[in-house]
Amino acid sequence: MTVEAMLGQIGAFHPFIHQTARPHLGQIEVAKNIHRLLRTSKLLNPSDQLPEQDIEREKSKQILRQDRYPLRTSPQWIGPQLEDLLVAHQAIAKELNSTTDNPLVDVENCLLHHGGNFQATSMATSMEKTRLAIAAIGKIMFAQVTELNNSFMNNGLPSCLNGDEPSTNYHTKGLDTSCAAYCSELQYLASPVTTHVQSAEGHNQSINSLAFISARKTLEAIEILKMLMASHLYCLCQALDLRVFELRFKNLLVGLFSETVAQSFGSQLSTRSREGLVIKIIDRFWSRRQVTASLDMEDRVRECLEASVSVIVEVFELEKKQIPVGSVEGYLGSSAELIIGSLADLRAQGLDHQTVDYLGGSRPLYDFVRSSLGVPVRVGDVAEGIQGPTVGGMVDRIFCSFQFELLPAEQPQQFLKVLLSLFDPPPPTLLDSLAQPNGFS
């Protein structure tokens, strides 16, 4: 979902990178799953599939040649965590199906064994592997969500993912701060417990596992990760709505600029020249729009239009013609009026209008948040008298859907079904690999 919200590239998850060049089991699985979920998405940047000669041209549009690390290297970051979690899972499953009494009675051979088989270090270290993995997963989530909220890094989305005016709406700024706190706490909880073993019981237990403490700290870490996940998922759904809104707006620009260019310069330029000018204006307008997301709507439109004037000058110079006095001012005025009106009409249709039509494999999760949980896209400003549910209340609604033990039986099953539907048909798993003789130990 983050790749889609950031208009990222699918090429970072290509099988050659992860199955041929660096075939770690966890990395292979993560990349395979992400690649499959993205295949049907309409929210991808195709620049990594362009010929090299076209890439230089894309650079002039201020488009990143490569996605930033939290997206592009996510298989290498998450993959090792899956491997550690599965090793921990194996150890815990084996422990739960073992006998740890002292002494142990060997009935068949009539022997008593006093081997101190109660030492639970395997449980303690398994919990530590789990907490380290949780901290690493939390870190990449925080890295993604903080870039998503930052208008200088999110590829043209409004600052703080606001659905209104950036100057008065700081929508997800509080969530960005709380996510930083969650991440810090996860990293604190990831510290090992087994390094704090003390001699106990009058030195009878000069070493002991502290597995119970390690397990309790792991439960704490899981709760914190759920909070971070809920905040991240809330931001992602808002970001996807805003991204689709931007693309719907972009689809209108050819018609809008064709009209204003014809009105302002129709008598000076041929039809072919006007068509070429419209394409250049849209490129310049959109490039400027990508880096002005912190401005309010009208200011942003006018600044982007002013940036497009240089393109008009270039075309007239190539045509060896003079720009008529007042035509540029007319172009700026009529374009601003049309574009601002079109944006208002799009907002009236709803920011979440048609979002699901653009999504790939993430659609079930988006639908779960928007439809099943009833978490709406957030639009408007309380200062203007527009009332709605609180951000914290909506994040809490998502968080509660993760609390399986506190919900009626059918609700967690619904959430689990949504998660499983993302992997249907299920891909080969690491557990399958572990069952093979050549699986890792």
**CATH no. for residue 197?**
1.20.200.10
Residues 294 and 332 in one domain: yes
Report whether 222 contacts 135 (CB < 8 A): no
Residue 439 has pLDDT above 50, yes or no: no
Look at residue 441 and tell me if it is in a domain: no
Chain mean position to CA 408: 29
Give the residue from 305, 323, 349 where a domain finishes: 349
Confidence (pLDDT) at 430: 47
Same domain, 71 and 183: yes
Distance of CA 247 to the CA centre of its chain: 18
The answer on pLDDT for 441 being more than 60 is no
Instruction: Express the helix, strand and coil content of the chain in percent, nearest 5 each.
Output: 65, 0, 35
pLDDT of residue 412: 53
How many Cα atoms sit within 13 Å of 29 on the Cβ side?
Answer: 19
Residue 354: inside a domain: no
pLDDT at residue number 267 = 79
Predicted structure pTM score: 0.89
Distance CA 78, CA 75 (A): 5
CATH number, domain at 300? 1.10.274.20
Whether 241 is covered by a domain: the verdict is: yes
The average pLDDT across 294-298 equals 91
Do residues 265 and 237 both lie within one domain? no
> Does 122 fall in a domain?
yes
Q: Is the pLDDT of residue 438 over 50?
A: no
323 DSSP assignment = P
**Which residue has better confidence, 317 or 217?**
217
Q: Which residues of 55-89 are buried (b: 16+ CB within 10 A; e: fewer)?
A: eeebeeeebbeebeebbbebbbbbbbbbbbbbbbb
Q: Output the pLDDT for position 194.
A: 92
Model confidence at 381, pLDDT cuts 50, 70, 90, reads low
Asked if residue 158 belongs to a domain, the reply is yes
- Of 349, 380, 401, at which residue does a domain stop? 349
Tell whether the model's pLDDT for residue 57 goes beyond 60.
Answer: no
C-alpha–C-alpha distance, residues 389 and 385, integer Å: 13
The total of structural domains in the chain comes to 2
Residue-averaged pLDDT of the chain: 87
Around Cβ 369, how many Cβ atoms within 10 Å?
23
377/370 Cα distance (integer angstroms) = 8
Of 179-193, 201-215, 245-259, 412-426, give the lowest mean pLDDT range: 412-426
280, two tokens: 């250049």
Residues 259 and 232 in one domain: no
Higher pLDDT, 306 or 417: 306
What are 114-164's pLDDT values in tens digits?
A: 888 888 899 999 999 999 999 999 999 999 999 999 999 999 999 999 888
Residue 417: pLDDT band by 50, 70, 90 thresholds?
confident
Task: Assess if residue 154 is contained within a domain.
Answer: yes
Per-residue confidence (pLDDT) for residue 100, from 0 to 100: 84
Q: What percent of the chain has pLDDT over 90?
A: 61
Reported as a single tens digit per residue, the pLDDT across 388-404 is 788 999 999 999 888 76
Range of the domain at 192: 2-246+361-434
Residues 159 and 292 in one domain: no
Instruction: Taking residues 169-195, report their average pLDDT.
Output: 94
Residues 367 and 225 in one domain: yes
- 355 lies in a domain? no
Closest to 88 in 3D by CA, of 253, 247, 218: 218
Q: How confident is the model at residue 102 (pLDDT cuts 50, 70, 90)?
A: confident
* Rounded Cα–Cα distance for residues 439 and 441 (Å): 7
Answer yes or no: do 212 and 138 share one domain.
Answer: yes
| pLDDT score of 437 | 43
Instruction: Collect all residues with Cβ–Cβ distance below 8 Å to 354 and sequence separation of at least 6.
Output: 244, 248
Same domain, 166 and 268: no
pLDDT of residue 31: 94
Query: Which of these, 227, 248, 199, lies nearest to 354 by C-alpha position?
Result: 248
CA distance 413 to 393: 22
| Co-location of 340 and 265 in the same domain | yes
Please list, in sequence order, all residues whose beta carbon lies within 8 angstroms of the beta carbon of residue 215, skipping any fewer than 6 positions away.
Answer: 123, 127
Whether residue 52 is contained in a domain is answered as yes
The domain boundary, picked from 349, 384, 411, lies at: 349
The answer to whether residues 174 and 263 belong to one domain is: no
Q: Is 124 exposed, middle or buried (0-12, 13-18, 19+ CB in 10 A)?
A: buried
240, 321: one domain: no
371 and 305 housed in the same domain: no
Q: Write out the two tokens for 326.
A: 């007042």
Place of tokens 């597995």: 211
Give me the helix-helix angle, 297-318 and 271-290, nearest 10°.
Answer: 140
Q: What's the CA gap between 306 and 285, in Å, rounded?
A: 9
